[in-house]
Amino acid sequence: MLVSLLVHALLLSLTFGGEGLGLPGLALPWQARRAEVPDLRVVLATPPAEPTPAQALPAEESTVQATPMPHAQAAEGTGDAPTAVLAAPAVIAIDKPLETTWSVPPAPPASTPVIAAFAAASGPSTEVTRLSEAGDAMRAALERETRERATELAQLERARREAQQQAQQQTERLAAAQAEAERQEAARLEAARQEAARKETARLEAARAEAARLDAERQEVLRQAAARQEAARVEAARLEEQAQEAARRVATQQEAARQQAARQDAARVEAARQEVARQEAARQEAARQEAGRQEAARLEVARAEAARLAAAKAAEELREARLRAIGQQLNEEAAKRDAARQAQSNLPSSWSSARRGRLFGRADANAEMVLYAEAWARKIQLNPTFELVREIVKQPHTDPLVTVALRSDGTVESVSFFRSSGVTAIDDAVRRIIESQANYPPFPPALAREYDVIEIRRTWHFDTAIRLY
- Amino acid symbol at 217: E
User: What whole-number distance in Å separates Cα of residue 238 and Cα of residue 30?
Assistant: 91
- Amino acid symbol at 305: E
Report yes or no: 128 and 121 within 8 Å, Cβ to Cβ.
yes
Domain 354-469 has CATH 2.60.40: no
Torsion of CA 254, 255, 256, 262, to 10 degrees: 110
pLDDT for res 465: 86
- Amino acid symbol at 235: E
Q: Are strands 23-27 and 356-359 parallel, antiparallel or unpaired?
A: unpaired
pLDDT for res 79: 43
User: How much of the chain is helix, strand and coil, in % rounded to 5?
Assistant: 65, 10, 25
Collapsing DSSP states into helix, strand and coil, what is residue 109?
coil
What is the per-residue burial (b if ≥16 Cβ within 10 Å, else e) of 293-310?
eeeeeeeeeeeeeeeeee
DSSP assignment string, 313-356: HHHHHHHHHHHHHHHHHHHHHHHHHHHHHHHH--S-GGGGG--E
What is the per-residue burial (b if ≥16 Cβ within 10 Å, else e) of 321-358?
eeeeeeeeeeeeeeeeeeeebeeebeeeeeeeeeeebe
pLDDT for res 167: 85
Closest to 77 in 3D by CA, of 121, 16, 139, 30: 16
pLDDT for res 117: 43
For the chain, what are the domain ranges?
Answer: 48-199, 354-469
User: What whole-number distance in Å separates Cα of residue 297 and Cα of residue 286?
Assistant: 16
pLDDT for res 350: 39
Report yes or no: 84 and 53 within 8 Å, Cβ to Cβ.
no
Instruction: Tell me how crowded residue 120 is: count the other CB atoms within 10 A of its CB.
Output: 9
Which sign, positive or negative, has the C-alpha torsion 457, 461, 466, 467?
negative
User: What whole-number distance in Å separates Cα of residue 59 and Cα of residue 50?
Assistant: 12
pLDDT for res 337: 62
Q: Are strands 356-359 and 453-462 parallel, antiparallel or unpaired?
A: parallel
Full pLDDT tens readout for the chain, 469 residues = 999 999 998 888 776 655 445 555 566 666 666 666 666 676 676 666 655 444 444 444 333 343 444 433 333 443 444 444 444 444 444 455 444 555 555 555 544 444 444 444 444 557 667 777 888 888 888 888 888 888 988 888 888 888 888 888 888 888 888 888 888 988 999 998 899 989 998 999 898 899 889 989 889 999 998 899 899 889 988 998 888 888 888 888 888 888 888 888 888 888 888 888 888 888 888 878 887 777 777 777 667 777 777 777 777 677 667 766 765 665 566 566 656 655 555 444 334 456 888 988 888 888 899 999 999 999 988 888 888 888 888 889 999 999 999 999 999 999 999 999 999 999 999 999 998 888 888 999 989 998 999 999 999 998 888 889 8
User: What whole-number distance in Å separates Cα of residue 446 and Cα of residue 371?
Assistant: 12
pLDDT for res 175: 86
The HSE-up count of residue 274 (CA atoms within 13 Å, CB side) is: 6
**In sequence order, what are the residues at sequence separation of 6 or more whose Cβ sits closer than 8 angstroms to the Cβ of residue 114?**
131, 132, 135, 138, 139
Which sign, positive or negative, has the C-alpha torsion 134, 138, 141, 143?
negative
> For 58, which DSSP code?
H
